[in-house]
Structure 1
Amino acid sequence: MGEVNYAPIIQEMTWSYSRIKAFDDCHYRWYLQYIRRLHGKDMFFASYGSFMHKLIELYYKEDKSAKQLCEMYLRDFRSQVVGWAPSKTVFGNYFKSGLQYLKGIQPFPYNMVAIEKRVDFNLSGIPFIGYIDFLGEKDGDLYVVDNKSRNLKPRSTRSNPTKSDLELDDYLKQLYLYSAAVEQEYGKLPKSLCFNCFRTPVFIEEPFKEQAYAESKQWLFNKVEEITRETDFLPSVEYFKCTYLCEMRDFCDYYRLAQKKR
């Protein structure tokens, strides 16, 4: 692959947060998915998250009750959540935590402006697309909420950021980028960026910070530049990630080789 220049293809792309994160996870996965455009298999964690997003959307869009959501969850779980979990314990924990959340689901503390809102916008010449899970309003201020199956932790009060703080900052980049679309459409930036970690359940509300906003836009520019310059697309082979997270594993020669060596 090193002798082929993929920059003309890459420069025509519309970007998303997931597209960039796929490159960070594994350059070869990104090559298979976005250069060769192969259709990967559905994986457990991704399909679980999509299913829960769909049910939360129905809660707001169609005013479904907690009882109705639970009935749908129990009826459709096996057909909607596909792929193999790492263990029966993980499967059971995910199943129980999703059901528990839906049993006690409560509206966010904001008036709904939009749900699963598609945003197409441009940042410094970079076309970008995303979906805002929930855009809310309270006292004239806007709030962006992202539903997460990942168990993020609220920011610590320590002077030096913890590992959890750094993870939170990493995920906030997505919401800061979406904030550009909010600003372009509504003429103002959100007051806070929020995560609804439904498996915990924990609701995290982070005040909007101008510096982090600027850093996130610069991060996007730098990542697009990095990907455009890439020519080798070497793999990042890690057993758990390759086996349970990567939808491209059936097309990956590196994964098959690693499996033979086990």
Structure 2
Amino acid sequence: METNAGDINELNRRMELASSLWNLSISRQKNEQREYSHWMGKVKAGVKKVLDLDGAERDRYIEKMIERQVYLFPEEIQPAKPSLFMHMRKEVSYLIPPFDNGRIRFRVEAAIPPDEEDLRLIEKIEALDDHIRRGGDYDDYEELALAVEDESKDRFRNWLIAKGFEDNPEEYVYCPELYLTFLYRYMHEDIVVLKSVSSQYLREFFEDFLLRKMICNKPVEYLYWPPALKLFYQFLNEKGYLSANETDRFLGELEEMGKRFQEIVQERYR
């Protein structure tokens, strides 16, 4: 097949523009202003030459391409340096059915009183709450927060098994860990503890934090979080951390949040 020199030159110009856009996006993320200005000049010239765009239309295109690069290559999924490879977000459409609440069944309906390990966990959660309200040594606080995250997972798993949970507990036991991280190890404008999470912070967790911090193999896996947190609050109620009224409030809010969250996930991955 005969190759046209003009076609090759055009291809080279497009490849050069793509490379410049990549470097522009990286320099912005690294906040290197001098490098960013350099690549912005090359990109503007390339967009004019290759796509014949100028002014506001050119600027919109450049901004769109930068956002596209950040979306396709999110920092949180990249391998540790000095890897020569990068992970790219997989772009496909998914059919995401509603979560089947019929899977949430127990063979043991009666409450299971706390044992000594449960009580130690509740004491640590309450100590963590006191740290939030009163302040204290940060190293002690962080150590306590990490212990609560780790031990909650084990005690929650044991409770699900003891209750005769009919679905696979392993699909649920890891979900509260990220929720606890959000509550206790991220800064909030208000005092936020496990037993007094406002609707505002529940929305922030589901609509922003969870989707940014957790990369699921399949989008449908996100839908485990609302039922998992409902189960976790039931666990905390049986172990004495929450009153019945407090538990009912969380269950109701998580039920509504679950419906909204499913719509968000479906919209994002359709």
Tell me the TM-score normalized by structure 1.
0.28
TM-score after normalising by structure 2? 0.28
Q: Does 1 or 2 have the higher relative contact order (CA < 8 Å, sep 6+)? A: 1
